[in-house]
Structure 1
């Protein structure tokens, strides 16, 4: 079931951001915090009937068992694999349902809990706390090796090693760009409103705009012109930079969309743009052999 789409501006006032600068105090606007979701209950409900699905544990290189949600079509496969990366709100029902939607399209989907060492976003009372006590403490390097572990697990459990893709939303959109520059075996990446620029920190030493020349996989980026945390100028600069170094990217800007326009459990959801983005994502995967 779909609800009527609505345009909902972020509660955090927008700040002007230049190509290479990012105001530290505006970290929250980089995630366009329209609301604090309670349960992440997806309006679109996708049944797991006829699919193989469940909660799994994948051992990371540091020995930590990373919890994840896994789903794929019934049968042995091998199936093309998509790593699904959450927003700052973690592995809740919206992300799980997104995985089931992908499985209905023939994919094995794995959504890891990339915050588990730092905390559980669902147990924190405010967005500011999620950012300061959990998200800001998650090292990019740790995330990359956790995703590598998920990719390896996929190959041993019904996934096709030659057909690996990644998609992510908001915080996960930025991670999607980073993973496209990290894993040479990745075939395709789709970043939904992922932040492109930033100041370096110990946890986040580089951002997508710093890694243009290192991109291994073609990237589809889906953005909203009314996103108060990601200026259109950043998206256009990324488009030009990718073209300049000969890297393949398609960057789509939806004129009436803000941030989180795919998140059907939030007021920012825009059904028409979300449906179009989803169709583009599936076409991008297939165009690139996933």
Structure 2
């Protein structure tokens, strides 16, 4: 196993400690209510046979956050995939995604990145969840927590030098930011993450703002019928990436022309099976090539 060192430590931005404390201490079971009715007939269920899987605790600079980890049983120095949650937090869909990566030979871990701000499983309305929890999550906190998760993975059977990051929706945006933040990351896969937008005090930059600083090639998987992410924003991101270094220029987009936002989320009406399966194949190939 790669030995933990100080490379990730040097990347950690300072965190403010005058928060309300940690509001999520364990991961919720099932699916987040705000995601709406579960489409049971399309839900993909991945078993834990041959895996080590379950909740773990990630030490961060101001305490601990819960996370879900899945990895091949008995494997040492497994390549690591950091899985970044949707707006709905680390619920059953994200846990299953971790198990899918573990079945493919990776140590996959999804930290609950809203742990200090609230419990997304308690909300029934997306707008309220966004206003009361998601909007209050600072980007610097998220990036630092992902650094801590990578360190944890390296100390618990994962590779220190073969690290990738993938995320969906809210997490897709974070993938781009993290690929620009952490030079130890080798590749990213961003599923329909926001690329442009108005800055806020807690989210001061969007992917288009840091595209030229991307340090690992990112594969962007986007839906052509995603009303919230128009083709103009994808083209703006492509133009910004073209001005960067080799990793930025190697980054690539695949547009699924008939797919809406959330087309990989098999528990929601937005799910498009053929596009989801093709996207997953492309994601696996991308990580196999770069990790």
- TM-score w.r.t. length of structure 1: 0.85
Question: CA 1:170 to 1:196, structure 2 compared with 1: closer, same or farther past 3 Å?
Answer: same
The 1-side partners of 2:262 and 2:151 are apart by 30
Q: CA deviation at 1:40?
A: 9.0
Matched residue, 1:229:
228
Deviation at 1:220, TM superposition (A): 0.2
Aligned to 1:258: 260
Checking the alignment, whether the CA contact within 8 Å between 1:39 and 1:93 is kept in structure 2 is: no
**Bigger mean CA offset, 163-172 vs 36-45:** 36-45
Aligned to 1:20: none
**Partner of residue 98, structure 1:** 97
The answer for the alignment partner of 2:121 in structure 1 is: 122
The answer to whether the 8 A contact 1:187-1:218 is kept is yes
User: 1:165–1:186: 8 Å Cα contact kept in structure 2?
Assistant: yes
Which position in structure 1 is the counterpart of 2:45? 45
Q: In the TM superposition, what is the alpha-carbon distance from 1:193 to its structure 2 partner? A: 0.1
- Give the Cα–Cα distance (whole angstroms) in 1 for the partners of residues 217 and 165 of structure 2: 11
Instruction: State how 1:119-268 maps to structure 2 within 5 Å.
Output: 119-246=118-245, 247=248, 248-268=250-270
Give the superposition deviation at 1:250. Answer: 0.7
Give how far 1:244 is off. Answer: 2.9
Contact 1:169 1:192 in 2 (8 A): yes
Task: Tell me the residue number matched to 2:25.
Answer: none
Alignment-derived partner of residue 60 in structure 1: 60
1:219–1:249 contact (8 Å) kept in structure 2: yes
Instruction: Verify the 8 A CA contact 2:39 2:269 in the aligned structure 1.
Output: no
Preserved contact between residue 79 and residue 107 of structure 1 (Cα < 8 Å): yes
Return structure 1 stretches of 4+ with deviation > 2 angstroms: 35-42
- State the number of aligned residues: 254
Normalising to structure 2: TM-score of the pair? 0.85
- Report deviation, 1:212: 1.3
1:121-143 deviation per Cα after TM superposition (whole angstroms, max 9, x unaligned): 11012111100000000000000
Q: How does 1:14-93 map to 2 (within 5 A)?
A: 36-37=35-36, 43-62=43-62, 64-93=63-92
Match among 257, 280, 283 for residue 282 of structure 2: 280
Q: Counterpart of 1:23?
A: none
Aligned residue number for residue 113 of structure 1: 112
- The structural deviation recorded for 1:39 is 6.6
SS of residue matched to 2:134: helix
Give me the whole-angstrom Cα distance separating, in 2, the residues matched to 1:142 and 1:241. Answer: 25
Unpaired stretches in structure 2, ≥5 consecutive residues: 1-33
CA contact (8 A) 2:212 2:242 kept: no
CA distance in 2, matches of 1:101, 1:82: 11
Contact 1:82 1:167 in 2 (8 A): yes
How far did 1:245 drift? 2.5
Please name the residue that 1:11 is paired with.
Answer: none
- Partner of 1:166: helix, strand, or coil? strand
Q: Distance in 2 between matches of 1:40 and 1:142?
A: 33
Tell me which residue corresponds to 2:16: none
Per the TM alignment, residue 36 of structure 1 is displaced from its structure 2 partner at its CA by 2.9
